[in-house]
Amino acid sequence: MRLPALFLLAAGSAWGGSMANWNITLDVAFPGNNTYKNETDFPVVFALHNAAVAFQYGFTINWEIAPAVNGKPSKALAQGSIREDASTHKPINATNNIWYPADSAGNKTSLPNGPYLFSWHWSMRSCREQDVQITIDPAASIANGTIGFTLADDGPDLDLTKDCPTAQSQVTIEAAEPSNDIMASCPYIKITNSSLPDPCRAKLSASSWACVKANITGTGDTAGCPSLKEINSTTEDTETSTTSSASPSSTSSSSSDTGGVAAVVPPSAAGTWAVLLSVAGALLIL
């Protein structure tokens, strides 16, 4: 159900005070436009850059998998969503850095062989101001897409370390420091798909993929998974063609988008990618 926009009259700017810019990039890591071995717990994987910032502003992904009939989707056989817990600004059911719907891990989701269409839709909270009227949209449409793939018994084994994610969409948001005052922290969103960063930077390492498999199948050793966030959370994946990422409260600025905003992003999560999985859903900060 589409949430209605809220219209307010303002005596001044909705965003008064210091502002900061961040780039948020969404890639589809799996499935791609390929044929895969049909296995239970078939994952759906998104790669999200600056995830900790995105979840401050009502980030939501809805997706579905439907059999393809003459190139068009029929009734969906699997569907889900990844959305913000408004009280914690993390995905619902977050546990450490392994975030997944509580009833989905090891749910043995199975799909028949054949061609499929994977469709997704990304939305976020957004504000816009014109004259003295401010419009707050709690679920502004950011991007959507569809990817075709095929499942077969003789397809190659699933391996998310092999192929790079598919670059899909990027937005630049401008906002004040998030707060309980929605008017003070509602972001202005600009969709910027002209120069997407290299999605290969979001490809999983072998150890990360082993951790993901352990979570989505409900089997295997997950004891080392929480340490992945600390090990892999560096700012080496910064983007160079973006505006300053300095926090409004920061004493320094930079021309690269590290996501390093002390008031918004925990230092251990600054500039990292998150990998979001569904069907046997999880979100893993990498």
Quick: pLDDT tens for 84-101.
777 766 666 554 444 444
Q: Which pLDDT score, from 0 to 100, does residue 259 have?
A: 26
Sign of the C-alpha dihedral, residues 234, 240, 241, 247? positive
Locate 5 and state its tokens.
């926009």
Does residue 218 contact residue 229 with C-beta atoms inside 8 Å? no
The residue type at 221? D
Nearest to 209 by CA among 267, 217, 110: 217
SS3 167: strand
Burial class (CB in 10 A: 0-12, 13-18, 19+), 189: buried
188-244 pLDDT per residue, tens: 777 766 566 677 777 777 776 776 677 666 666 666 554 433 323 333 332 222 111
Mean pLDDT for 11-28 is 59
Query: Which residue is listed with tokens 């401008």?
Result: 174
- Nearest Cα residue to 104 out of 277, 274, 284, 279: 279
Per-residue pLDDT band for 182 (boundaries 50, 70, 90) equals low
Q: How far apart are CA 236 and CA 272, in angstroms?
A: 9
Q: What is the pLDDT of residue 30?
A: 78
